[in-house]
Amino acid sequence: MARVCVTHSISDLCPEPNPLATQADTKAATPFVRIGGLETLRRITDRFYDLMASDPAYSKLRAMHAQDLTPMRASLPLFLAGWSGGPRDWWDANPGKCMASMHKPFAIDNATASQWADAMQRAIVDVAPADAEIANALADVLANMARGMVNA
Ligand code: HEM
């Protein structure tokens, strides 16, 4: 069985993908495969941005983003794909780009980080990947990452 890591910190976002995913036993499925690949990551991120755009509980988070969420709907699943041990398209297209530094211009307080984590958790629950263990681990790890981005 692939390792399920729930201990990531913000340092895992910079500069390389999830190191435990890339160290996964080659005989075992990576987290990327277990979650259902790019198709499932796209469904989760689409649901995440749908929730962000429609639920007033996330209005502070929504206001930080550009009016057009199309680029984010394309970017976040590709980021998550490479980070979870799948295709590295986002990383190849953004050599040296540091996710932690990229977020520094945004004033992220506890409230906005919680909104991000909550919307993502709901999106994962709504999409309901077949492998519930990796789905729960993904939600936990992403919530930890969001909390690690608090800078205001
Ligand atoms: C802590 C709460 C977070 C806030 C408030 C936040 C906010 C933002 C904002 C405002 C943008 C720019 C969007 C735009 O231009 O429309 C962005 C981009 C992005 N964020 Fe976050 N973010 C958070 C957490 C995260 C986490 C935990 C991840 C990764 C798992 C992440 C991944 C990304 C990616 C991949 C991009 C686009 C980068 C690119 O391809 O240029 N964010 N974020």
Ligand 1 atom closest to 90 (CA): 40
Give the pLDDT band of residue 21 (cuts 50, 70, 90). Answer: low
Report CA(103)–ligand 1 centroid distance (Å): 7
Task: In whole angstroms, give the CA distance from residue 46 to residue 146.
Answer: 18
Tens-place pLDDT, residues 8-19? 444 445 544 564
Q: Is the CB of 72 under 6 A from ligand 1?
A: yes
Tens-place pLDDT, residues 60-113? 999 999 999 999 999 999 999 999 999 999 999 999 888 888 999 999 999 999
Task: In whole angstroms, give the CA distance from residue 35 to residue 82.
Answer: 13
Report CA(83)–ligand 1 centroid distance (Å): 14
Q: Is the CB of 143 under 6 A from ligand 1?
A: no
At the second CATH level, the architecture of 36-90+101-148 is Orthogonal Bundle (1.10)
Res. 33: pLDDT tops 90:
yes
Across residues 41-60, what is the average pLDDT? 98
Token couple for 32? 């990327």
Which value, to the nearest 10 degrees, does the dihedral of the CA atoms of residues 35, 40, 46, 51 take? -50
Sign of CA dihedral 114, 116, 121, 125: positive
